[in-house]
Amino acid sequence: MHPALQIGEVVEMICTQVAPYGATCSHVRRDLSRLARTSSIFLDPTLNILWRHQDSIVNLLRCMPDQLWKIEETRPDDYEPDFIVLDIVLLRPITPADWERFFFYSHRVKSFSIEGQPLLETPEVYEILGICLTGEFIFPKLQKLDWEPIPSEFFHHVRLFLAPTITNLRIFIKNTSYLSMLSTLAIKCPGLTNVTISTTFLSELDTVPVISSFVCALRHIEILSVPRLDQAALSHIARLPSQVAAFEPPIPSPRCPAGSHHFPALTGSRLQ
């Protein structure tokens, strides 16, 4: 074996060349699987790419013992073959040994996205995992989360994904009661740099104080897309030392005293 393959960075570069845009299609996933089987050196880097992004937790459930979950897949619409409905039932109590493969793969997931689509899993699955997870989060090393489940009543399951490693967050809040999550979000995810919050159909009387308070707690934000903010939140953003402090809320322009330097790091702004 070539000595260069003992260097982790070289191995990662090789795997990246196989999948420069991630495991986005079947032939790339097939090539990565073949590469993983050529040598144990390639196993971890290729698995990291294969699992980097997920849009369902079903793949993780299928890694658990065969007799633990009953997973039935149906396609009810002949005109939309990609539309899948899953019926998932827990067949027996989960034991400590059942988690081994689950966590072998779950820590590799860096991006999880549920955007404007029905959850493939039934809500009972999230309830079960919330009760018996050995850790706090399904993906303990998650960095990016897009969360817009349908129906919106499933929104509260977001707590299972709010790992402290998250830096990029997009959430769509459609119920006033769910705004309360923002009161502790900056504490749970202290490294947030890119945040989008959509509050379609909610009153500004409810959203402005809560979102503004949340924004004031952000210390590392670089890109921010939120509804209207109050003056305190705008002043906080103006003082941030980030090299990029772009935001796109429909906000009133603050009155700046002559000679002041508001938003010194701002590199872009889109006002809607």
Name the average pLDDT for the chain: 82
Q: How many CA atoms lie within 13 Å of 32's alpha carbon, on the beta-carbon side?
A: 27
89: helix, strand or coil: strand
pLDDT in tens, 51-95: 999 988 999 999 999 899 998 877 766 676 666 777 889 999 999
Tally of CB atoms within 10 A around 37: 11
Angle at 116 between CA 24 and CA 234, to 5 degrees: 100
C-alpha span between 85 and 118 (Å, rounded): 9
Place of tokens 């809500």: 123
> Parallel, antiparallel, or unpaired for β 85-90 and 69-74?
antiparallel
Q: Which contiguous run of DSSP H or E holds residue 58?
A: helix 58-63
Phi, psi of 111 (to 5 degrees): -140, 130
**Sequence spans of domains, the chain:** 1-51
pLDDT in tens, 140-184: 999 999 999 877 888 899 999 999 999 999 999 999 999 999 999
List CB contacts of 234: < 8 A, sequence separation 6 or more: 251, 254
C-alpha span between 12 and 245 (Å, rounded): 32
Q: Which contiguous run of DSSP H or E holds residue 149?
A: strand 144-150
Mean pLDDT of 2-10: 68
Provide the edge-to-edge strand list for the sheet that holds 168-172. 53-54, 111-118, 144-150, 168-172, 194-198, 223-225, 246-247
> Parallel, antiparallel, or unpaired for β 223-225 and 246-247?
parallel
The pLDDT value given to residue 253: 47
The pLDDT value given to residue 116: 62
pLDDT in tens, 227-253: 888 999 988 888 887 654 555 554 554
The count of residues in the chain is: 272
The pLDDT value given to residue 162: 96
- Ranked by mean pLDDT, which of 177-186, 219-228, 257-266 comes out on top? 177-186
236: helix, strand or coil: helix
C-alpha span between 171 and 115 (Å, rounded): 9
**Facing residues of 147 across strands?**
114, 171
pLDDT exceeds 80 at position 118: no
Cβ 214 vs Cβ 236: under 8 Å: no
Phi, psi of 54 (to 5 degrees): -135, 150
CA distances from residue 40 to 11, 44, 46 in whole angstroms, order as listed: 11, 8, 10
